[in-house]
Structure 1
Amino acid sequence: MEFGVSTFVTDDGIAPAALGRALEERGFASLYLAEHTHIPVKRETPWPGGAELPRHYYRTLDPLVALTAAAAVTERLRVGTGIALVIQRDPIVLAKEVASLDLVSGGRAVFGVGAGWNREEMRNHGTEPATRMRLLRERVLAIKELWTKDEAEFHGEFVDFDPVFSYPKPVQDPHPPVMIGGSGPTTFDRVVEFGDGWMPIYGRNTDALAAQITELRERAGRRVPVTLFGVPRDPGTVEELRGAGVDEVLFNLKTLPEDDTLRYLDRLAELL
């Protein structure tokens, strides 16, 4: 089992380069960054995490820019989106950005993807919430074509382009792992069809995690990697998750100034 951190990097917390160095120095394997392009002032969609939307949701840096800064000052740390809101991004541009991150990091990029929850936010990008899962599917499939084909093309309901050249290609063969976020009734369908792994959140429809992981791997006919967000800082829980078949646990890191973050990471590293 490996250990990583998931967080929101903002303009008023620790800088991404300093965070990347601190994680690698303490033996963490990965850094995953959340994404919100913006938060509409008029909010209607309930936040899944509770009542009031926390401040850091409003102030996130672009995750791919921040991950590039972290990758530039580290040698082993995996740098991943956790998650990238693919339904709010142009797939041709996104394919280039993630491939570029994989190139400059020497093959350490992880592409965590999801459809998001904030309907006002996605509508500002021209995305209809009711069809966002179909849109997610097509954009991920199109990105894989752009990564793996010299002359890539895609023709779907939402994504449509004739043969194009798209470079750079990723360093990883065949491409960075595509980790599917969520734990809804159709999540496993997406993992089996176009995902390389599963990234649920601890405590959100994961009460029978061992059975879920077994079911997923049987359906896929392969050992699907599982990365779990929001794992409590409890050795007993970590051991239970190891026994359930989880490959990587991610501890939530609060968005704090650098000194406070480093002190917290020192305590968190005791679990490694």
Structure 2
Amino acid sequence: MRIGFAVPQYGAFADPKFIGGASARLEEMGYDSLWTADRILAPLTPSDPYPGGDGTMPPAFATFFDPLAALTLAAVNTCEVRLGTSTLNALWQPPLLLARSLASLDLLSGERLDVGIGLGWLRDEYTATGVPWEGRGTRLEEALDVMEAVWTEDVVEHKGALWTVPPSHVRLKPAQRPRPPVLLAGFTPAALERVGRRADGWLGVALPPSDLRIAWGMVLGAAERAGRDPSELRMVVRVNPAIVAEPAAPVQVPHVGTVDQVVEYLRAVAEVGADEVLVDVQASARSREDLLELAESVITGLRAS
């Protein structure tokens, strides 16, 4: 199982020098991948509860470094580690522009980009970007069509319900051919079906292993129905634990727990079939030094297993 870690990018960690330096240090520790997330605002009165804890959005989300800028800093300060987004909201900008940005990042990083895409959970962010909340799934399908064409076609042309691209040359292509791997998030039947039908993998989160197994089975079933080889798909599971000194009640793990408890959960995730895990401790790390110490403890525990 590959082991990933979140690039520092929000709250007290949204500092360019620290982002670059921490990325280099995380690669030295032996992490296989580094990932950025996507948040644009923290409403005073949110339209939707945060999907974790008691539903309160972490205060640190009010300061959020741009995910692609943060990943660029990670790219120029590392050599071999994979670089991904978990997750990037693909609907807040036109897909033609997003495809160009991601192709540029894949070139800059030397073929190391994984494109992880989600739809988000906060209606306020859609309102602020002028994007309709309704019809997100349909919008994502067409956005993926546009990006696929930009990345793979010599003459790019698209005419859909939402976007039109006249026959054009867009010759800036990703370094990875035919394109960077695309991973999709989501838990609804429609989202899991979409992963199996057209993505290279699924971005899951910290659910009980039995629930992950069920969701992954739905993805693999959708892949089979679409005539694809299910063995070629990847499962990446994101965990955002609050690391504590004393053991937490089992029902709280992995959302709260010691390093050993979180590591034990991640081992269970590997048994379910996860190809990769991603750990983010920014919401609970007390300092920059603490964040790196926790990162060291997590990977040491996993490598020892």
TM-score, length of structure 1 as denominator length: 0.92
What per-residue deviation string (whole Å, max 9, x for no partner) do you get for residues 208-250 of structure 1?
A: 3224323422331322110001174534323322221110011
Between structure 1 and structure 2, the one with the greater Rg is 2
Q: Equivalent residue for 1:38?
A: 41
Query: Matches of residues 185-224 of structure 1 in structure 2 within 5 Å?
Result: 185-203=189-207, 207-221=210-224, 222=229, 223=231, 224=233
After superposition, the Cα gap between the structure-2 partners of 1:140 and 1:39, relative to the gap in structure 1 and judged at 3 Å, is farther
Give the unaligned 5+ runs of structure 1.
Answer: none
Q: Equivalent residue for 2:5?
A: 5
- The alignment of Structure 1 onto Structure 2 pairs a total of residues equal to 271
Amino acid at match of 1:77: V
8 A Cα contact 1:86 1:113, kept in partner:
yes
Q: What is the CA distance between 1:96 and its match in structure 2? A: 0.8
- Verify: 1:17 aligned to 2:20, yes or no: yes
After superposition, the Cα gap between the structure-2 partners of 1:51 and 1:8, relative to the gap in structure 1 and judged at 3 Å, is farther
Alpha-carbon distance in 2 for matches of 1:39, 1:212: 30
Alpha-carbon distance in 1 for matches of 2:179, 2:50: 32
What per-residue deviation string (whole Å, max 9, x for no partner) do you get for residues 20-47 of structure 1?
A: 1111000001111111123344422221
User: What SS class does the counterpart of residue 280 from structure 2 fall into?
Assistant: strand
- Verify: 1:260 aligned to 2:290, yes or no: yes
User: What SS class does the counterpart of residue 24 from structure 2 fall into?
Assistant: helix
Amino acid at match of 2:12: D
Higher relative contact order (CA 8 A, sep 6+): 1
User: What SS class does the counterpart of residue 157 from structure 1 fall into?
Assistant: coil
Which of 99, 105, 108 is the aligned partner of 1:101? 105
Q: What is the CA distance between 1:193 and its match in structure 2? A: 3.1
What per-residue deviation string (whole Å, max 9, x for no partner) do you get for residues 174-193 of structure 1?
A: 11111101111211221133
Alpha-carbon distance in 1 for matches of 2:40, 2:97: 15
Amino acid at match of 1:246: A
Query: Matches of residues 175-190 of structure 1 in structure 2 within 5 Å?
Result: 175-190=179-194
Q: Equivalent residue for 2:247?
A: none
TM-score, length of structure 2 as denominator length: 0.83
Q: Equivalent residue for 1:226?
A: 235
Alpha-carbon distance in 1 for matches of 2:110, 2:213: 33
After superposition, the Cα gap between the structure-2 partners of 1:8 and 1:159, relative to the gap in structure 1 and judged at 3 Å, is farther
After superposition, the Cα gap between the structure-2 partners of 1:41 and 1:160, relative to the gap in structure 1 and judged at 3 Å, is farther
Moved over 3 A (4+): 39-42, 231-236
Q: What is the CA distance between 1:68 and its match in structure 2? A: 0.7
Q: What is the CA distance between 1:154 and its match in structure 2? A: 1.4
